[in-house]
Amino acid sequence: MKRRNSLLIVGALGLGAGVTLPCTTTAQSTARPAASPARLDHRELAADQQVIHVLNRLAFGARPGDVQKIRALGVDKWIDQQLHPEQIDDQSIEAFLNHYDILREDQGQLLQEYAVAQRDRRLVKRQAGDTTQGPGGVSREDSMAFQQIQLKRRQVGGQLQSSRVARAVISNRQLDEVMTDFWLNHFNIFIQKGPPEAYYLTEYERDVIRPHALGKFRDLLEAVAKSPAMLFYLDNARSMVDSTRPRLASIDRNQRFGPLGGQLRRVDPGQAQQIRQRLNQLQNGGLNENYGRELLELHTLGVDGGYTQKDVINVARALTGWTIKPPAQGGGFIFRPQMHDAGEKIVLGHKLAAGRGIEDGEDVLDIVSRHPSTAHFISEKLVRHFVSDNPPKALVDQAAAVFMKTDGDIREVVRTIVTSNEFFSQQAYRSKVKSPFEVVVSAMRAMGAQPDSTPRTAQVIAFLGEPIYGHQAPNGYPDTGDAWMNAGAILNRINFGMSVAANRIPGARINEVPGLDTLLSASRAKQVDAVVSLMLGGSVSPDTRAVLMSGENPLLASGAPAPAPAAPEMAAQPPNNEMMQQAQGAQNARNAQNRRLQQGPSPQRPQGNPLAGRNGAVPQLNGIAQVVGLALGSPEFQRH
Partner 1 sequence: MQRRAFVKSGALALVTIGLSPSFLRRTAFGAQMMQAPKGKTLICLFQRGAADALNIVVPHGDKSYYGLRPTIAIPRPSGLSGTISRDAAIDLDGFFGLHPSLAPFKPLYDRGLLAPVHAVGSPSTTRSHFDAQDYMETGTPDVKGTPDGWLNRYLAVKGTCDECKITPFRAVALTQQTPRIMEGANEVVAMNSLDEFTVRATGSQVDRLEALYRTGSADLVHGTGTEMFEAVRMLKAANPQKYLPRNGAEYPRSQFGQRLLQIAQLIKADVGLEIAFADVGGWDTHVNQGSTNGQLAGRLDDFAQSIAALVTDLGDKMGDVVILTMSEFGRMARENGNGGTDHGHAGALFVIGGDVKGGKVHGKWPGLEQDQLYEGRDLALTTDFRSVFSEVTARHLGATKLDKIFPGFNAPSSGWLGLV
> Under rule CB under 8 A, which residues in 477-536 are in contact with partner 1?
481-482, 485-491, 494-495, 498-499
Handedness of CA 265, 271, 275, 276 (dihedral sign): positive
In Å, what is the CA distance from 255 to each residue of 250, 272, 332, 335, 640?
A: 11, 15, 18, 15, 57
Round to whole Å and give the CA distance between 591 and 580: 15
> Least CB distance from residue 358 to partner 1, whole Å?
25
Round to whole Å and give the CA distance between 585 and 587: 5
Residues numbered 30 to 59 that lie near partner 1 (CB under 8 A) are 30-31
The nearer residue to partner 1, 580 or 617, going by C-beta atoms, is 617
Question: What are the residues facing 433 on neighbouring strands?
Answer: 639
Residues numbered 222 to 261 that lie near partner 1 (CB under 8 A) are 234
**Helices assigned H by DSSP within 260-358:** 269-283, 290-294, 309-318
Report if residue 150 touches partner 1, rule: CB under 8 A: no
Report if residue 131 touches partner 1, rule: CB under 8 A: yes
The nearer residue to partner 1, 547 or 556, going by C-beta atoms, is 547
Q: Residues with Cβ < 8 Å from 99, sequence gap 6 or more?
A: 453, 576, 579
Q: Are 465 and 483 in contact (CB under 8 A)?
A: no
The nearer residue to partner 1, 36 or 604, going by C-beta atoms, is 604
User: Which of these segments, 6-14, 102-110, 143-151, 356-364, binds partner 1 (CB under 8 A)?
Assistant: 6-14
> Least CB distance from residue 238 to partner 1, whole Å?
10
User: Which of these segments, 28-36, 242-250, 329-337, 556-564, binds partner 1 (CB under 8 A)?
Assistant: 28-36
Report if residue 603 touches partner 1, rule: CB under 8 A: yes
Round to whole Å and give the CA distance between 39 and 289: 42
Longest Cα–Cα distance of the chain, Å, equals 87
The nearer residue to partner 1, 372 or 551, going by C-beta atoms, is 551
23 phi and psi angles, rounded to 5 deg: -85, 0
User: Which of these segments, 331-339, 447-455, 537-545, 565-573, binds partner 1 (CB under 8 A)?
Assistant: 537-545
The nearer residue to partner 1, 46 or 597, going by C-beta atoms, is 597
Residues numbered 192 to 211 that lie near partner 1 (CB under 8 A) are 192-194
Q: Under DSSP, is residue 335 helix (H, G, I), strand (E, B) or coil?
A: strand
User: Which of these segments, 167-175, 255-263, 527-535, 625-633, binds partner 1 (CB under 8 A)?
Assistant: 625-633
**Helices assigned H by DSSP within 171-308:** 174-186, 197-203, 217-225, 228-233, 269-283, 290-294
- Over the window 326 to 365, marking each residue x when it contacts partner 1 by CB under 8 A and - when it does not, the resulting string is ----------------------------------------
Residues numbered 459 to 478 that lie near partner 1 (CB under 8 A) are 462-463, 465, 467, 472-475
Residues numbered 281 to 300 that lie near partner 1 (CB under 8 A) are 281, 290, 293-294, 297-298
Round to whole Å and give the CA distance between 321 and 343: 13
> Least CB distance from residue 305 to partner 1, whole Å?
14
Closest CA to 162 of 574, 576, 501, 439: 576
The one among 523, 550, 577, 581 contacting partner 1 by CB under 8 A: 550
Report if residue 92 touches partner 1, rule: CB under 8 A: no
